[in-house]
Chain A
C-alpha cells in the first residue's frame, strides 16, 4: 500500500531523514515511535505531499507521489500535529469545506453525518470551532482526515494534550478505524502504540532503528521487571535484606521520602513475582511497606536497549544478549 524507498530529507547539512525505507501493506496499523525531532513528522509530511524529499521515492498503491500527486492525495487522510482547523467556521461548515476541497463524489449530507457519528461530534456540529475544547478540536481534526473515506489515514501525535478519558476514547477510535483503513500513527508514548498498533517502527535521528510486530517488541522490552518500593525502616538493614531476598537481582535506594521512609528500586526476572514474598518478609521485620508499584519499560529504555544490542551484535558475533531495562513509563 505504501512503499518508501531510501527517503532522505536534508536541511542544509543536517539530515532530518537519513535513507528510510519502508513497506506497509494494506490494513496494517503502524506506530511510528521516536523522541521529538526524530523524523516522525517529517516522514509523514513527505508521505502526504506537504514536504518534498531531498531524494528517494514514495509510492502509494503503486503510484509515484511525485508523478501524480493529485491522485495520491485523494487516497490519504492526514491529521497533522496541530489540527488544521479554521477556527472561524462551524464544525459543519468546516467539514463541508473539506468535502469540497477533496472533491468527494459521495452524497454530502450522508457522508458527513456518518463521519460525525463515528468521531462523536454530532452534538457540536453547529458550534464555531474556536469555542470547542481541545478534545473536540482533535476529533474535528480526525473527522477532517476521514472525509472522502481515504484508504490511508495518517495521524501525527493524535493524543497529545488530551485528558486521560479522551486519550482512551481516541485510541479506541483509531483501533476501530484500523479495521477498515491502513493507519499510520506517530507518538512518543510507548503504551499507546502497544495498545493500538500491529507493528512498531522506531525512528531515531532520521533512521529506522527497529521495525517489529508489537508483541515482539513488547517481549523484548519485558525481559526484566522493575519495582518501585517504599519502605519505612532503617536504610542499611532494609537494603541488605532486599538484596538477599530470593528473586531479587538488584536493589538500590533512590531517596528518602518522609521520616524514615525510603524508596528502593528492585529488579527481578520477568517470570518471578516477588510482591507476596516481599510483603510477608517485611512484616516479619516489622518494616511497613508504604507503597509498591511495578514500573513499565519506557521508550528511552527500549532505545538504549536496541542501540546497545546493535552495538553488541556488531562487536561480537556470539550475540551476547543485552540486558533490557525497565523504568518509568512516560505519559
Chain B
C-alpha cells in the first residue's frame, strides 16, 4: 500500500496535475473567501463561504481522482498491480490516501485565509473548527466517490464528468427535497444528500451521526471499488 501511495504522490508532482490542483484550489478558495466573507460586512460569518466551497470542491476533487484507476486500466499498468503481492484493498487504500492527502493538504494550506478573520473580526471558533472537520470528512467522501467512478471507466474525461455530475446531484438533492411532498421519497433522497448532513456542522456541533454518515459513504464507495476489481477478475 505504501508503495502505491508513494507512486501516486510522485505522479501528482511529476506531471502538472498536482500543481494545477493546488493552484486552482488555493485561487478559488481565496477568491470565494474574499467575496463571501470579507466583503459581506462585519459578521465574520463563514457559512456562505463553506457552502460555496462544497460546490467548488465537487468540481475540483474529480481532477484528483479521475485518472486513479481509469489511466491504470487504459495503459494496462493495473496488470502489474494486480499480479503483485498487494491486496486489492491495499491498492484501493493506497490510491485513496494519496488523493485524500492532496485534498487535505491543500485545504490545510487554504486555512491561512482564516487568519484575516481573527485579525480583523471576531469569528466563532467552534463553528469554524466544526466546519473544517465537516469539510475534511466531505472531502474524504468526495474522493471515495471519485475513485469508484474512476474504476468504472477507461476514460479519464468520462470519469471526471460523471464524478462532477454525481457530486453536484448529491448536493442539490437537499434543496430539491424541500419541494417533495411524498415522505418515503424524501426519506430516501435525504439519505443520499451530502448537504443535509453538513448543516449540523453549521452550528458548531460535531454530530456523531453526521461523522458516521461520511465515514460510511467513504467505506461503501471504497468497498465498491474493491468489488469492481474483484468482479472484473471473474468476468
* Contacting pair B85 A73 (CB below 8 A): yes
Within 8 A of A (CB), among B69-94: 75-87
* Contacting pair B83 A88 (CB below 8 A): no
* Contacting pair B75 A87 (CB below 8 A): yes
Q: Please report the C-alpha to C-alpha distance between residue A322 and residue B76 in the assembled complex, in whole angstroms.
A: 43
* Contacting pair B82 A49 (CB below 8 A): yes
Question: Given A48-B83, A78-B83, does the pair A84, B76 have CB atoms closer than 8 Å?
Answer: yes
Smallest CB separation, B71 vs chain A (Å) = 9
CB-CB contacts of A58-96 with B at 8 A, as 1s and 0s? 000000000001110110101010101111110001000
9-residue interface stretch from A27-35, A100-108, A300-308, A309-317: A100-108
* Contacting pair A93 B83 (CB below 8 A): no
Q: Which residue of A lies closest to B87 (CB)?
A: A70
* Contacting pair A97 B3 (CB below 8 A): yes
**Is B119 part of the binding interface, using a Cβ–Cβ cutoff of 8 Å?**
no
Q: Please report the C-alpha to C-alpha distance between residue A48 and residue B80 in the assembled complex, in whole angstroms.
A: 10
Which residues in B have some Cβ–Cβ distance to A below 8 Å?
Answer: 2-4, 6-7, 10-11, 14-15, 75-87, 233-235
Best-surrounded residue of B15, B79, B80, B233 (most CB of chain A within 10 A): B80
Question: Given A52-B233, A101-B86, A103-B85, does the pair A88, B80 have CB atoms closer than 8 Å?
Answer: no
Q: Please report the C-alpha to C-alpha distance between residue A70 and residue B83 in the assembled complex, in whole angstroms.
A: 9
Q: Please report the C-alpha to C-alpha distance between residue A71 and residue B76 in the assembled complex, in whole angstroms.
A: 23
Q: Please report the C-alpha to C-alpha distance between residue A89 and residue B11 in the assembled complex, in whole angstroms.
A: 8
| Complex interface: chain A residues within 8 A of B10 (CB) | 89, 93
| Complex interface: chain B residues within 8 A of A87 (CB) | 75
**Is A144 part of the binding interface, using a Cβ–Cβ cutoff of 8 Å?**
yes
Interchain residue pairs A-B with the least CB separation, the first 4: A100-B3, A84-B80, A48-B83, A73-B85
Smallest CB separation, A56 vs chain B (Å) = 14
* Contacting pair A97 B6 (CB below 8 A): yes
Best-surrounded residue of A11, A50, A52, A87 (most CB of chain B within 10 A): A50
* Contacting pair B85 A50 (CB below 8 A): no
**Is A22 part of the binding interface, using a Cβ–Cβ cutoff of 8 Å?**
no
* Contacting pair B83 A76 (CB below 8 A): yes
* Contacting pair A80 B14 (CB below 8 A): no
Question: Given A84-B79, A89-B14, does the pair A100, B6 have CB atoms closer than 8 Å?
Answer: yes
Question: Given A86-B11, A93-B10, does the pair A102, B85 have CB atoms closer than 8 Å?
Answer: yes
Q: Which residue of A lies closest to B77 (CB)?
A: A84
